[in-house]
């Protein structure tokens, strides 16, 4: 006989229950009610609150008055001030454990300490904590990040941790920080209830055949429970409601364990237990022994038995208004709505299936209230897509996905109906400032991380891009030669020059090679993204360096300097630089001459600055030209002497 065992601490934690009770207590008493973000990670509760008038907001823009509900995750300090400015009453459901962390980081920040938060940087709790130290915290989400994250030198740091973080993972991160020589004080802020729930889940999953983890797919603490159980019990599934559970996979004699995240209402846990119990009872029920078999009994026995979560085959009866009717051999027909037909919204059911076609479907609900079976073809697609992605992950093959969303921290690409997250650090081998350029594009990438339990699939293009660049780099170094002219794109500007992408390899134009004239900043000549023709000065294949120049040797102004600035001629120039022994005067861009201090005036000059100013335009006489050494000797004194007779006349 099968046995179902439920973890003692499954379901609502103290902080979540407190927040939920506070909200239900004011419903009908205060209006309007606004929840800053989803109150808890549970769609059933969220939908119920919405029906009762609780509106979810992520900004206070346009709001004036009403009651603002702060969820148990907490928020940053500035939101309280903003709510006050909007004349809103606050119903603060912040978990006391989280509020304690707010107080710690606020005080430590005021005392001059740096703040390090260990946790998921995209989680509302961590974002709220960061808001209590002026959003100045360094956030570390994994041991890998602890190894590489940049931590500025500071006298001391104060470390806090997300309440639902794994204890052993936190300890591992602290050890890494110690090895890096970071001076810090560690605060133990993991919620005791969370630790207890995770311990129970670990013990239970070691002694069952199947493990059911109930809770929101975007709930951090539920994801961690599923992760723990998966390590001990291979047959672990993470569901939000009974609709996500494939009941026909249950077997007679199975030992089944159930746990639930802190945001899972007792009613959902109870529904799962009752439905599973009924399914197991039906599986072992024996109808033999009846002395009389009526026609109705014979009809019932001839029909298939369906349960929510079953995967079955059926025959298409008709397609009407893009809604597909399916014969399942059940007492009622099944219905696939347009939204549940495919994960691709552009797919039209009437052009995809015809009456008589056999299709595989997922049973969402056995009775929709009108006697119909609610079906989904989209979920079958997702399951198959998941299997294909798992194969690609195991075999390290490349997949192609369409970028559908730009989200915080990266991209969402859809591969065979399954969403894959590509972190911004994995989009390319270099930082991409605006990820919107990828929206709608088909990208090739590898699956670098996959967890079917948490439905966490991460893609990466960085390695592919680096392989492609390596190939281009090798090809370029085979052909490029000093003295040739080549076209490239300015990829990056610095104070000392510009890097130009030559097709997989960057070459450097030093600031001295950008103009024959004098420039103080590369941005005076170039801008990022600009296409330029450059001259190759030098190629170092061993070091992988290429030196470039914008200066055309044929346009070198010194080639014409001997004829243009013949000795004895008087020319006009601009003072560009002072030195103790004289002043440099620019005759044209790229050609400077020196007026020695003895040639500045018809009197003794102590400092050039006493007679000249940078930027001043003066007449000078050319004394000597040396184009090989790029030197011209000039005299302001003699130029004035030559002009003097004319002035007297």
Catalytic residues: 125
What are the tokens at 273? 């237990």
What are the tokens at 539? 């190629």
In sequence order, the 6+-apart residues with CB closer than 8 A to the CB of 62 are: none
Phi, psi (rounded to 5 degrees) for 79: -65, -35
∠ CA 391-422-529, nearest 5°, is: 130
What's the start-to-end Cα distance of the chain, in Å?
Answer: 127
Please confirm whether the linkage preceding 32 is cis (ω < 30° from 0).
Answer: yes
Exposure of 472 in the CB half-sphere (CA atoms within 13 A): 12
Query: Using CA atoms, how far apart are residues 594 and 607, in angstroms rounded to an integer?
Result: 15
| DSSP, residue by residue, 459-502 | EE-HHHHHHHHHHHHHHHHHH--TT-EEEEEEEEE-SSEEEEES
Q: Which DSSP state fits 189?
A: -
With residue 360 as reference, give the H or E element that holds it: strand 358-365
Task: Output the CA–CA distances (angstroms, integers) from residue 545 to 387, 476, 488, 551, in the order listed.
Answer: 45, 12, 15, 19
Query: Using CA atoms, how far apart are residues 23 and 91, in angstroms rounded to an integer?
Result: 8
∠ CA 499-503-507, nearest 5°, is: 25
Query: Using CA atoms, how far apart are residues 144 and 235, in angstroms rounded to an integer?
Result: 28
**Contact by Cβ (8 Å): 160, 128:** no
How are beta strands 157-161 and 114-118 bridged, if at all? parallel
Q: Which residues pair with 575 in a beta bridge?
A: 585
Query: Using CA atoms, how far apart are residues 618 and 26, in angstroms rounded to an integer?
Result: 84
Query: Using CA atoms, how far apart are residues 637 and 621, in angstroms rounded to an integer?
Result: 8
In sequence order, the 6+-apart residues with CB closer than 8 A to the CB of 90 are: 67, 68, 70, 80, 83
Task: Output the CA–CA distances (angstroms, integers) from residue 512 to 491, 496, 498, 530, in the order listed.
Answer: 18, 9, 11, 19
Nearest to 138 by CA among 172, 109, 99: 109
As a dihedral over the C-alpha atoms of residue 288, residue 291, residue 296, residue 297, rounded to 10 degrees, the angle is 0
Nearest to 262 by CA among 95, 130, 129: 95
Neighbours of 17 (CB within 10 A): 16
**Contact by Cβ (8 Å): 63, 87:** no
| DSSP, residue by residue, 183-234 | -EEE---S-HHHHHHHHHHHHHHTT-SEEEEES-TT-HHHHHHHHHHHHH-S
Query: Using CA atoms, how far apart are residues 82 and 75, in angstroms rounded to an integer?
Result: 12
Nearest to 281 by CA among 307, 244, 260: 307
**Contact by Cβ (8 Å): 507, 488:** yes
Query: Using CA atoms, how far apart are residues 156 and 149, in angstroms rounded to an integer?
Result: 16
Exposure of 484 in the CB half-sphere (CA atoms within 13 A): 12
What is the C-alpha radius of gyration for the chain, rounded to an integer number of angstroms?
37
């Amino acid at each position: 006989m099968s046995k179902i065992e439920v973890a003692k601490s499954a379901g609502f934690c103290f902080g979540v229950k407190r927040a939920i009770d506070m909200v239900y207590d004011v419903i009908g008493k205060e209006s309007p009610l606004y929840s800053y973000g989803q109150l808890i990670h549970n769609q059933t509760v969220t939908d119920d609150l919405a029906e009762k008038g609780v509106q979810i907001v992520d900004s206070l823009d346009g709001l004036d008055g009403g009651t603002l509900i702060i969820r148990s995750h907490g928020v940053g300090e500035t939101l309280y001030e903003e709510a006050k400015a909007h004349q809103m009453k606050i119903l603060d459901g912040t978990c006391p454990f989280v509020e304690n962390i707010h107080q710690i980081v606020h005080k430590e920040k005021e005392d001059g300490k740096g703040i390090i938060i260990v946790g998921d940087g995209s989680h509302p709790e961590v974002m709220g904590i960061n808001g209590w130290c002026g959003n100045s915290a360094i956030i570390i989400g994994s041991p890998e990040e602890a190894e590489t994250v940049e931590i500025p030198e500071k006298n001391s740091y104060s470390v806090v941790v997300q309440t639902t973080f794994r204890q052993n993972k936190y300890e591992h991160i602290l050890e890494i920080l110690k090895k890096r020589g970071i001076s810090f004080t560690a605060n133990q802020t993991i919620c005791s209830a969370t630790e207890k729930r995770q311990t129970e889940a670990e013990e239970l999953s070691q002694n069952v055949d199947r493990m059911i983890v109930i809770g929101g797919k975007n709930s951090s603490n539920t994801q961690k429970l599923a992760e723990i159980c998966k390590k001990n019990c291979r047959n672990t599934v993470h569901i939000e409601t009974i609709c996500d559970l494939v009941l026909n996979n249950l077997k007679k004699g199975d030992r089944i364990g159930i746990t639930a995240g802190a945001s899972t209402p007792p009613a959902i846990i109870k529904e799962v237990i009752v439905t599973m119990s009924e399914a197991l009872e039906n599986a072992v029920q024996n109808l033999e022994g009846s002395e009389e078999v009526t026609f109705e009994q014979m009809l019932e026995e001839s029909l298939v038995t369906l349960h929510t979560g079953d995967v079955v085959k059926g025959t298409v009866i008709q397609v009407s208004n893009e809604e597909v009717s399916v014969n399942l051999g059940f007492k009622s027909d099944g219905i696939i709505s347009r939204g549940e037909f495919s994960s691709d919204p552009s797919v039209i059911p009437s052009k995809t299936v015809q009456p008589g076609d056999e299709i595989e479907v997922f049973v969402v609900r056995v009775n929709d209230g009108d006697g119909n079976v609610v079906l989904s073809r989209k979920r079958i697609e997702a399951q198959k897509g998941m299997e294909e992605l798992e194969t690609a992950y195991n075999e390290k093959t490349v997949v192609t996905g369409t970028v559908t969303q730009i989200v915080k921290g990266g991209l969402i690409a859809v591969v065979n109906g399954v969403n894959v997250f590509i972190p911004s650090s994995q989009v390319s081998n270099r930082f991409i400032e605006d990820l919107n350029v990828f929206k709608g594009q088909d990208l090739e990438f590898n699956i670098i991380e996959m967890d079917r339990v948490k439905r966490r699939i991460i893609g990466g293009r960085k390695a592919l891009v680096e392989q492609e660049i390596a190939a281009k780099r090798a090809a370029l170094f085979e052909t490029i030669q000093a003295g040739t002219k080549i076209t490239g794109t300015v990829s990056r500007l610095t104070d000392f020059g510009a890097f130009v992408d030559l097709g997989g390899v960057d070459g450097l134009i030093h600031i001295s090679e950008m103009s024959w004239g004098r420039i103080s900043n590369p941005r005076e000549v170039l801008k990022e993204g600009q296409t330029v023709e450059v001259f190759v000065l030098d190629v170092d294949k061993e070091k992988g360096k290429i030196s470039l120049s914008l200066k055309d040797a044929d346009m070198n102004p010194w080639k014409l300097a001997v004829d243009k600035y013949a000795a004895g001629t008087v020319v006009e120039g601009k003072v560009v630089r002072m030195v103790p022994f004289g002043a440099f005067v620019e005759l044209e861009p790229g050609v400077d001459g020196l007026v020695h201090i003895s040639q500045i005036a018809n009197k003794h000059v102590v400092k050039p600055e006493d007679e000249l100013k940078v930027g001043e335009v003066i007449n000078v006489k050319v004394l000597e030209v040396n184009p090989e050494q790029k030197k011209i000797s000039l005299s302001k004194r003699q130029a004035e002497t030559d002009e003097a007779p004319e002035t007297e006349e």
